[in-house]
Amino acid sequence: MIQSGQFHFSRLVMKEIDNTPVLRMNAPQMADEETCLFYRDVLTGDDYFHILHRTIHHGMRERKATPIVRFADGEYAFYNHDLSCNGLYKQAESVSSINKAMPLHIAALKTLMKTGKLAPLIFPGNISPKQKRSFPFLRRSKKPSSASTFLEFLFHHNIELTGENYIPFYVVYAYLTSEDFIRLTHLKKLCILNAEFNSSSCKLWFEQFSSHPDLSFMEIPAEYVATRWEAIKEGILERIPEDTDICLVGAGIGALLVCVDVAERFLIPAIDAGHVLNMMNDRVDKSNGARLYTIRKIKNAD
């Protein structure tokens, strides 16, 4: 991708974002994640921010299926058939359950490629992971999960990242925590699909910028959505209000399936919000602390 000149690595700078507090609380090497993949025609992080804003606004206005899904270490393990996908949350019961669910995920990825945005975390430090020590008398082991194995998986299934369907992982966090997004939801019907919902905390989240969306909540399981979605899908989709304008989803690796199906069923944007939903619920502890691109610079009082 890089050798072809289609993409390059550049630092994701956004004028309103201050990553200093997050970097101070974590290992210094986390700063490496500020360098990410850019499409050749996109110059700055703020350009990507505005692309995402226009995409979501258009999806709401035109009633267009617009799934937005992030991919990082957990997804890279899952699509590498690796049970290390079970990190903060339980995602897969076994390798066989991953194998069984894989055709559904591949189909959803192909839909996402055509109708939405893929937001994988790709930076120089996660494209060439250190190889585990190998022994000549053992069979060749599977490659360690990484952004590279994920991209190989996509290409193997004819799923291509392009300037139209790619957006950097952290742009989604930056946008969902922005005044632009919060005000976009004012008086809109917003449905949250998650295992947890703190109504008062979520209302305060939007009220900080004088936004008053009509909030609804649809509970989904906290575990194994990635492997059990087909069995529970209809029972959840049929309870989402028909006139919903936009959905925020917290479903771990299962967010791909949920976002694609919700967007297709209701012809709306469905966004994999993840950590941002923990912020809205005042449960940042569930994410083991703050994440990059979610803290804004303090504006001068004058």
- The ranges assigned to domains in the chain are 7-130+141-287
Inter-residue contact 87 to 36 (CB < 8 Å): no
Confidence category of residue 12, pLDDT binned at 50, 70, 90: very high
Confidence category of residue 289, pLDDT binned at 50, 70, 90: confident
User: Can you tell me the mean pLDDT for 65-75?
Assistant: 98
Cα angle value 166/171/177 (rounded, 5°) = 145
pTM, rounded to two decimals: 0.94
Tell me how far CA of residue 223 lies from CA of 215, 220, 228, in angstroms.
Answer: 24, 9, 9
Which residue is associated with the tokens 């905390």? 201
* Residues in CB range of 137: below 8 A, 6 or more apart: none
As a whole number of angstroms, the distance between CA 202 and CA 199 comes to: 5
Tell me what pLDDT residue 143 has.
86
Farthest CA pair distance, the chain: 69
Specify the range with the lowest mean pLDDT, choosing from 41-45, 70-74, 93-97, 142-146.
142-146
Report whether pLDDT(132) > 60.
Answer: no
Tell me what pLDDT residue 300 has.
59
Inter-residue contact 7 to 38 (CB < 8 Å): yes
- The tokens describing 63, both together, are 């009633």
Tell me what pLDDT residue 140 has.
44
Confidence category of residue 150, pLDDT binned at 50, 70, 90: very high
Beta-sheet pairing, 246-249 with 7-11: unpaired
Helix or strand run (H / E) with residue 189: strand 189-194
* Percentage of the chain modeled with pLDDT above 90: 86
236 secondary structure, DSSP code: H
* Percentage of the chain modeled with pLDDT above 70: 94
30 secondary structure, DSSP code: G
Tell me what pLDDT residue 129 has.
54
Confidence category of residue 165, pLDDT binned at 50, 70, 90: very high
Report whether pLDDT(137) > 50.
Answer: no
